A and B are shown apart, each in its own frame.
Chain A
Amino acid sequence: MKTKIKLGAVYAPSRDVVVRKVERDVIIIPFVSGVDDSENEPYFLNTTGQVIWQRLDGFRSLKEIVADLAAEFKAPVKIIEKDIIEFVEKLLMRKILIEVSGT
């Protein structure tokens, strides 16, 4: 079930994940106990994913991250916002991210 993503909310990596760098890739391995092992499959971050992941630090809201990336990559806010929402949705479903505070 998809969680509603709030742009004003702050998200952070769950404590129950291990992040490893392999060659150029970053992989995230969740290990939530008591759930099906398929939940423990590693999640591969592509280059865009890595850029967003670095900013999901538990301090900045998604709105701030969107603004930050739009300025850095000179891309339309709407497109970045859509990408970030999709990305955060996936990570929340896999229990890789947690919401720290929501507005």
Chain B
Amino acid sequence: MIKKKIDIQDTRELIGWAYYEMKWLTESQAKEANQKRNELLQSISGRVNSNFLGNKIGPGELSPGCMTCGQGTWSCIFINCLCTANCFYCPQDRKNKKDQPPVESGLIFDNPDDYVDYLEKFKFKGASFSGGEPLLKYKKILTYIRKIRERLGNSIYIWLYTNGDLIDKDKLDALKEAGLNEIRFDISARKYDLKALKMAVGIIDKVTVEIPAVPEDYEILKKRLPLMKAIGVAHLNLHQLFANQYCYKQFNDRRYTFLHQPNIPVLESEMTALRIIKYATDKNIGLPINYCCSIYKHRFQQKAYRERFQTFIKERYEGSTESGFIRRLAIQDKPVNIKKLVKMFQENKCNDSLWSLNKDTSELIVHQSLLKYIDFNRHGLIVTYFAPQLRNVVDEEDENGKQIALNSSRNIFIDRKFVHEMKIKNPVTIKSFQKLFIRKMNNGDVFKKFYRDYDLKTKADIDRMMNEKTRLDYLKIWEFIGSGLYEIY
């Protein structure tokens, strides 16, 4: 309930006035949609694979590239932003006629050597080229691929996204020779034409179709499935359409239904992807299909980003959550009481890198392993979450930012962004917090004990207890990664 409220509130805030011109579900429609989706999932259950905590479903294996994404070792460089097509679902500014330099996670990589240093430094196992239409920068891509292969050998899997407009045999041969492992075609940009695919099969090791699940194209896609299989397509990746400022109007024109989720995905797109999976499994087409839903990207790609960079800025006395946020635990009290706690840590021979005192001795940050020494009947707990943030240039105001040298001439900067803070005073809530998020005990067992132990003297305490329970649930947003498809509302 709390999650639903927050999602709806966040979506409204993010979209602003446009929210009211977009189509959303009523409660009863949402219930019906959840039921329909459950029926679809039930009908394919046992016949499809479920990967990454049920966030990715579909028959057959995932591409090695998709595996690196789920494992958090994928880098995608946007080599340009111009394109030869004009797809209604494109999340980029199609009016923009000025190209941009290659960009990955906001970092500019004009120099291919810097990019390879970046891949090496952060131990990436997969690298892909996207755009715009990347083949508009075909020669540049060749240079980047050659550099990656030359320096990282076969330790990295490389693929390229294209709409196929500019593909020809010579380019494919050169890409293969440079070391490209996989090519992914957005055939929806070319009315599901398979010519470019046919050309690539037999030259590039893996030829994949990667398209959004467009509801209006269900029938044509269904017909293409056996043809794709016959041609030798290795994988079909189906994305869930999602809205942003560049495409929501086109989605409105098509009367799509938007969902209150991160990235604002389209309901009909998910249903189309699941129907395609059902059709392909019913007919035993034998084409591996990967439904890449919007919530998967939000959960796993952002987790990967946070985990990759947080290690450079996390202090020893801080912890990290399952979803990759930095978690800081602190006690605030009078200096005299704070000093008593420090003294106790010292008496217990605790490593002094596991806590940190602020200047006026009013706040003590403690590592989770020291919580057992603290009497929470006397102290509250402040929980703060941070996320790492990459920058091309140093933020002068951020004292805690770290400079990372990629090579002798290129640095990047990582600093921390405040995400959320919660003060917990109730000792039973603090105990439950530790059990739930630090000791990772079973949710039901923790709350059973919470409800049993919470001090209830008056009826007003019942509301307080339920409020505390809601607050604990709220922290799951930053603590847990989340499994399965997202509830529809």
**Residues on A close to B: CB < 8 A?**
16, 18, 20, 22-23, 25, 27, 29, 31, 33, 36-38, 40-42
Interface residues on B, range: 20 to 34
Closest B-chain residue to A38, C-beta based? B1
Report which of A22, A31, A36 forms a contact with B456, defined as CB distance below 8 A.
A22
- Smallest distance from the beta carbon of A22 to chain B beta carbons, Å? 5
B-side contacts of A42, CB under 8 Å? 462, 466
B-side contacts of A29, CB under 8 Å? 451
Q: Which 3 A-B pairs have the closest CB atoms?
A: A37-B1, A18-B451, A22-B456
> Across the A-B interface, how many residue pairs have beta carbons closer than 8 Å?
37
Closest B-chain residue to A30, C-beta based? B451
- Could you tell me the distance between the alpha carbons of A33 and B447 in the complex, rounded to whole angstroms? 10
- Could you tell me the distance between the alpha carbons of A31 and B469 in the complex, rounded to whole angstroms? 11
**Is B97 located at the chain interface by the 8 A CB criterion?**
no
A-side contacts of B459, CB under 8 Å? 22-23, 25
- Could you tell me the distance between the alpha carbons of A38 and B2 in the complex, rounded to whole angstroms? 9
- Could you tell me the distance between the alpha carbons of A36 and B443 in the complex, rounded to whole angstroms? 14
- Smallest distance from the beta carbon of B385 to chain A beta carbons, Å? 21
Report which of B2, B457, B462 forms a contact with A37, defined as CB distance below 8 A.
B2
Closest B-chain residue to A33, C-beta based? B444
- Could you tell me the distance between the alpha carbons of A78 and B449 in the complex, rounded to whole angstroms? 40
B-side contacts of A16, CB under 8 Å? 444, 448
- Smallest distance from the beta carbon of A60 to chain B beta carbons, Å? 26
- Could you tell me the distance between the alpha carbons of A54 and B35 in the complex, rounded to whole angstroms? 37
Convert B433-476 into 0s and 1s, putting 1 for each residue whose CB lies closer than 8 angstroms to a CB of A: 00000000001100110011000111101100010011001000
- Ordered by A's residue number, 10 sampled pairs between the chains whose C-beta atoms are within 8 Å are A16-B444, A20-B451, A22-B461, A22-B462, A27-B462, A31-B448, A33-B444, A36-B1, A37-B470, A41-B466
- Could you tell me if A23 and B458 are in contact, using CB atoms closer than 8 angstroms? yes
- Could you tell me if B466 and A18 are in contact, using CB atoms closer than 8 angstroms? no
Instruction: Given contacts A31-B448, A33-B443, list 7 more A-B pairs with CB under 8 A.
Output: A18-B448, A18-B451, A22-B458, A23-B458, A37-B3, A37-B473, A40-B469
B-side contacts of A23, CB under 8 Å? 458-459
- Could you tell me the distance between the alpha carbons of A18 and B445 in the complex, rounded to whole angstroms? 11
B-side contacts of A31, CB under 8 Å? 444, 447-448, 451
- Could you tell me the distance between the alpha carbons of A29 and B457 in the complex, rounded to whole angstroms? 16
B-side contacts of A40, CB under 8 Å? 469
- Smallest distance from the beta carbon of B472 to chain A beta carbons, Å? 11
- Could you tell me the distance between the alpha carbons of A86 and B101 in the complex, rounded to whole angstroms? 69
A-side contacts of B457, CB under 8 Å? 22
A-side contacts of B447, CB under 8 Å? 31
- Could you tell me the distance between the alpha carbons of A4 and B466 in the complex, rounded to whole angstroms? 31
A-side contacts of B444, CB under 8 Å? 16, 31, 33
A-side contacts of B458, CB under 8 Å? 22-23
Convert B82-118 into 0s and 1s, putting 1 for each residue whose CB lies closer than 8 angstroms to a CB of A: 0000000000000000000000000000000000000
A-side contacts of B462, CB under 8 Å? 22, 27, 42
A-side contacts of B456, CB under 8 Å? 20, 22
Closest A-chain residue to B5, C-beta based? A37
- Could you tell me the distance between the alpha carbons of A59 and B443 in the complex, rounded to whole angstroms? 30
A-side contacts of B1, CB under 8 Å? 36-38
Interface centre among B3, B448, B451 (most CB of A within 10 A): B451
A-side contacts of B452, CB under 8 Å? 18, 20
- Smallest distance from the beta carbon of B458 to chain A beta carbons, Å? 6
